[in-house]
Structure 1
Amino acid sequence: MKNIKFTELELKDTVLKAIDDMGFENPSEIQSASIPVIMEGFDIIGQAQTGTGKTCAFGAPIISKIDTSKRFIQALILTPTRELAIQIYEELRRLSKYDKVRSLPVYGGQSMDRQISSIKKDVSIIVGTPGRVLDHIRRKTLKLNNLNYLVLDEADEMLNMGFIDDIEEIIKNTNSERQTLLFSATMPKPIKKLSENYLKKDVKHIQILKKSLTVSKIDQYYYEVHNNTRLESLCRILDISEPESAIIFCRTKKSVDELVSTMSSKGYNIEGMHGDMKQKNRLSTLNKFKNGNLTFLAATDVAARGIDVENITHVINYELPQDTESYVHRIGRTGRANRSGTAISLITRKDFTKLKQIEKDIKSKITKQKIPTMQEIINIKSKNIVSKVSNILSTEEYKKFEPIIENLGKEYSLNQIAAALLKNALDKEISTEYNDDLFNQENSVRLFMSIGRRDGINIKSLLEFIDTTSTVNSNYIGSIDILDKFSFVDVNEKKVSLVIKNTDGKKFNNRRVNIEVAKNKN
């Protein structure tokens, strides 16, 4: 399959000519595996990572099979964002360059009347976001009863964005004899269930996984933060670890924008990528990142798909992803080409159980680290600056500056001059003013509590129980790990005695709760 050519995939000559014009020489793995199966009429589940050519994998066979003599919508492609809808539409237009196959992108933010008018003009393929497509179905301006092909692209991202119910409603309005093509980088349980319910029994599962997704050469760490210290924690970690090139993953476009705005104002070399950005802006940012002119790239999962950069030293989960597969996919962007890499996750107490599940799934330890103090950052930065100065002193390059220092020496001591120069260098190295008061409550003690999931307790009710019985509120509570029969709770060391004195022996759901200091935090 490695040396297969497009001409061997039974595509229409006109489509092959368009592919040749686009400069594609040989199909990618997902294309060579999927196209023949799609051409034979099977439903497929195509599981592949970004940058693998999934649009051509489904677009080329669909365009090859569409009957241009029929004047109704024959194919519907659902995708999570309008950005992706436009990208897919543009590639379909290039693939159908020599055919009379008309495609139309349909998404929110456009005039509904204009879309309705365009749909009536012999459109064969609709590329749309679930919300807007469903709008048209409910208005009866989009009829899918003769649909031959349904594509669910980036299915896991549509799930993460809350579109699963919309997708099911859309599917129920399509022709039951349609051919369904589901593409997803990861396969969380709801997507598996969706495929079981709506794809044919003889569905073909095609899985193309990159070897770079292994975590074996990636050092994994996590830092416990509170929501109000998340940003400053990130800045401290970056200042002490000094990544050469890092992707910072956020869950939402809003988080990306806010992070980029704040970190840029603090002097970090950072830009963002997400689905609302124009393609030319995304390409410009990506080129800067690839060429080493951009140190930090903040991105959502959708926007980061397709990024193929070999020299990323760090991946940072500013916010944890929804599932283990997404976590592995994210951190797999570092540690490539036999290089080592570092993955860092910032978690709150609500994320602790999810983190432990990720550890279990990947069979790998994610090591806890402490948020660096201001003094630790100064010490590391000073050490690095002194090392650079030592290197300069080992050459002759400094000699031309000696007269300046000699002149300053008439007014100040050499120690004063050196200290002032070090301060000036540190001011440039440390990108933000830190507030140590935010971290005064980070030292905690882990308590054992004799209630767990079987007693009907969850994080919210446990916090309320502690607050009610001891008046210690959630600001003083850290990580909470609820197991079947018992729980572990991190409490600010100044409040531990208060919790034990007032909460120990109290009842939760008629069950007496015993509390003691845990013997081993891990």
Structure 2
Amino acid sequence: MSDIESQPPSFAELGVAAEICDGLATRGITRTFAIQELTLPIALSGQDLIGQARTGMGKTYGFGVPLLDRVFDDADIAELDGTPRALVVVPTRELAQQVTEDLQVAAAHLPVRLASIYGGRPYEEQIKKLNRGVDVVIGTPGRLIDLHERGNLQLDRVAILVLDEADEMLDLGFLPSVEAILQALDGNAHQTMLFSATMPGAILTLARRFMDKPIHIRAESGEQDFTHSSTRKVTFQAHRMDKVAVVAHALQAAGRGRTIIFARTKRAAAQLADDLARRGFRVGAVHGDLGQKSREKSLHAFRSGQVDILVATDIAARGIDVDDVTHVINYQVPDDPMTFVHRIGRTGRAGHTGTAITLVGYDELAKWQVINDELDLGEPEPPQWFSTSPELAQALDIPTDVDETVGPETKVVGQVPVREKSPTRTTARRGGSRRRRGGHR
């Protein structure tokens, strides 16, 4: 078979409108990934579908391209009049932003207006957008249903509904809001597309209740579902007191580009970001203690190259969609196997190679073994390495002469520095008494 014959089909060959193909081509996107190749013919026909694929497989354009094509030029969908024809529901603000940005690329040559609607922003600015006229709305469940119940978001003419990362919406407790949105559309004749990495029972029940004979598409099968074959995994046990030094060394590995470091808690993320900034690294942070504007500032700095390291908690794991992330570092072991999958799915994407580094604390070994067994990773007892271990330098291609500090102290984008408490500082309690540091917390 020739190289030409073995290439995946282009968007144009699958019948996508020329205007959309032109928009995608500006980003060098011409040929489809597996999930796109499988879903496009079905989605363009208006059929309900369930798309199942791991993170980084191209799901956004798997639903976004046919959605835009149909809204733009499908006789079954009413002409655009400023009320939404398509609704994309996503679990997080960051993912709403990313999906909107991706669809704006594809819609650059279309007379289709898009808007992001999510919490953490003033209602007034989003209501103004809707009043000016919007054809495609991308948003989070809570804010969408709030605006609908207020009468600001019309859903009676929505012809296409997409539920993206449905399993994450279930995990975050958004199922009641999602059901309310589905019920609001129940009187409309509309196409529903549901995309998810996993299919818990509650999601399948939702599909049976609200979808019309959906076709279930899986872009892969077997063990490779869990991790990208293009991602090299380096896992080892690290002492808690040495983890920052380990990360500082790992960030000086040969070929290291954009890097995402995942911490399990917002406090750990904030502290690690500050520790790295003090060592001269260019760092941004995304975690729950930051306001929406600060999180947006950090993500913009990361995407634009102002910083090349982003420290994040798991709430941001599915909202960071940058194809050229070279390294992902698990500073703390996640709580469950699928969170691990979503974390390391941030690298090795779209034809790129990547490295996923996992630091297993001595007190995290049992948690790691659950992940190892579930995903069949073959490393129940990772080796014990330190920041100075030659095995670490060899595994990650770290020069032998690196130091923990790479330059003058920097500031973490989007984050006020974490200040250590003074040993003599006391904290006021109600009633006027004071509690010394080291007392009951």
Q: Distance in 1 between matches of 2:236 and 2:211?
A: 39
Please say if residues 230 and 353 of structure 2, whose CA atoms lie closer than 8 Å, have aligned partners that are also in contact. no
SS at match of 2:162: strand
SS at match of 2:156: coil
In the TM superposition, what is the alpha-carbon distance from 1:187 to its structure 2 partner?
4.5
SS at match of 2:52: strand
In the TM superposition, what is the alpha-carbon distance from 1:9 to its structure 2 partner?
1.9
Q: Distance in 2 between matches of 1:112 and 1:427?
A: 45
Please say if residues 325 and 354 of structure 2, whose CA atoms lie closer than 8 Å, have aligned partners that are also in contact. no
In the TM superposition, what is the alpha-carbon distance from 1:309 to its structure 2 partner?
4.2
**1:111-510, aligned counterparts within 5 Å?**
111-175=122-186, 177-187=189-199, 190-208=202-220, 213=228, 218-222=233-237, 230=240, 232-235=241-244, 237-238=246-247, 244=253, 245=256, 247-251=260-264, 255-265=268-278, 267=279, 269=281, 271-272=283-284, 274=286, 276-278=295-297, 280-285=300-305, 289=308, 297-299=310-312, 300-310=316-326, 312=327, 315-331=328-344, 333=347, 342-346=357-361, 348=363, 352=366, 354-363=367-376, 364-367=378-381
- The structure that is helix-richer by fraction is 1
1:34 is aligned, of 28, 39, 42, to 39
> What is aligned with 1:444?
none
In the TM superposition, what is the alpha-carbon distance from 1:32 to its structure 2 partner?
2.1
Residues 1:63 and 2:78 are matched in the alignment: no
Letter in 2 for 1:277: E
Q: Deviations over 1:133-185 (max 9, x none)?
A: 12112223223233221112233443444433322222222236432222234
SS at match of 1:34: helix
In the TM superposition, what is the alpha-carbon distance from 1:106 to its structure 2 partner?
1.3
Structure 1 pair 90/428, CA: closer, same or farther in 2 (3 Å)? closer
- Aligned pair count reads 371
In the TM superposition, what is the alpha-carbon distance from 1:377 to its structure 2 partner?
5.6
Give me the TM-score of the superposition, normalised by structure 1.
0.58
SS at match of 1:25: coil
Letter in 1 for 2:79: S
Q: Distance in 2 between matches of 1:7 and 1:242?
A: 41
Letter in 2 for 1:327: F
Q: Distance in 2 between matches of 1:12 and 1:241?
A: 45
Q: Which consecutive residues of structure 1, in runs of 5 or more, have no partner in the other structure?
A: 290-295, 382-386, 390-424, 432-474, 476-522
> What is aligned with 2:437?
none
Structure 1 pair 261/206, CA: closer, same or farther in 2 (3 Å)? same
Q: Distance in 2 between matches of 1:340 and 1:15?
A: 33
Q: Distance in 2 between matches of 1:90 and 1:427?
A: 36
> What is aligned with 1:7?
12
- RMSD between aligned residues: 4.4
Q: Distance in 1 between matches of 2:357 and 2:128?
A: 52
Percent identity, aligned pairs only, is 28
Structure 1 pair 171/222, CA: closer, same or farther in 2 (3 Å)? farther
**1:63-82, aligned counterparts within 5 Å?**
63-66=68-71, 67=77, 69=79, 71=81, 72-82=83-93
Please say if residues 103 and 125 of structure 1, whose CA atoms lie closer than 8 Å, have aligned partners that are also in contact. yes
Please say if residues 36 and 59 of structure 2, whose CA atoms lie closer than 8 Å, have aligned partners that are also in contact. yes
Q: Deviations over 1:87-110 (max 9, x none)?
A: 333443443344432222212243
Structure 1, 244-253 or 134-143: larger mean CA deviation = 244-253
SS at match of 1:367: coil
Q: Deviations over 1:273-306 (max 9, x none)?
A: 5482335412234x864xxxxxx65234135543
Please say if residues 23 and 107 of structure 2, whose CA atoms lie closer than 8 Å, have aligned partners that are also in contact. yes
Q: Distance in 2 between matches of 1:22 and 1:380?
A: 39
> What is aligned with 1:403?
none
Q: Distance in 2 between matches of 1:16 and 1:216?
A: 29
Structure 1 pair 83/338, CA: closer, same or farther in 2 (3 Å)? closer
> What is aligned with 1:518?
none
Work out which of the two has the higher radius of gyration on C-alpha atoms and give 1 or 2: 1
Q: Distance in 2 between matches of 1:184 and 1:331?
A: 16
SS at match of 1:320: coil
Q: Distance in 1 between matches of 2:100 and 2:175?
A: 22
Q: Distance in 1 between matches of 2:184 and 2:90?
A: 17
In the TM superposition, what is the alpha-carbon distance from 1:35 to its structure 2 partner?
1.3
Q: Distance in 1 between matches of 2:206 and 2:319?
A: 24
SS at match of 2:236: strand
Please say if residues 39 and 217 of structure 2, whose CA atoms lie closer than 8 Å, have aligned partners that are also in contact. no
Letter in 1 for 2:380: I
Q: Distance in 2 between matches of 1:305 and 1:167?
A: 23
In the TM superposition, what is the alpha-carbon distance from 1:49 to its structure 2 partner?
4.4
Structure 1 pair 127/358, CA: closer, same or farther in 2 (3 Å)? same
Q: Distance in 1 between matches of 2:404 and 2:124?
A: 56
> What is aligned with 1:45?
50
Q: Deviations over 1:316-368 (max 9, x none)?
A: 4233334323324534648x99998753234757x83x434323212323315
Structure 1 pair 62/149, CA: closer, same or farther in 2 (3 Å)? same
Please say if residues 245 and 404 of structure 2, whose CA atoms lie closer than 8 Å, have aligned partners that are also in contact. no
In the TM superposition, what is the alpha-carbon distance from 1:82 to its structure 2 partner?
3.0
Please say if residues 146 and 175 of structure 1, whose CA atoms lie closer than 8 Å, have aligned partners that are also in contact. no
In the TM superposition, what is the alpha-carbon distance from 1:260 to its structure 2 partner?
0.4
Letter in 2 for 1:220: T
Structure 1 pair 198/261, CA: closer, same or farther in 2 (3 Å)? farther
SS at match of 2:219: strand
Q: Distance in 2 between matches of 1:23 and 1:426?
A: 38
Structure 1 pair 128/216, CA: closer, same or farther in 2 (3 Å)? closer
Return the structure number with greater relative CO, CA threshold 8 A, min gap 6.
2
Please say if residues 333 and 358 of structure 2, whose CA atoms lie closer than 8 Å, have aligned partners that are also in contact. no
Please say if residues 130 and 166 of structure 1, whose CA atoms lie closer than 8 Å, have aligned partners that are also in contact. yes
Q: Distance in 1 between matches of 2:379 and 2:152?
A: 53
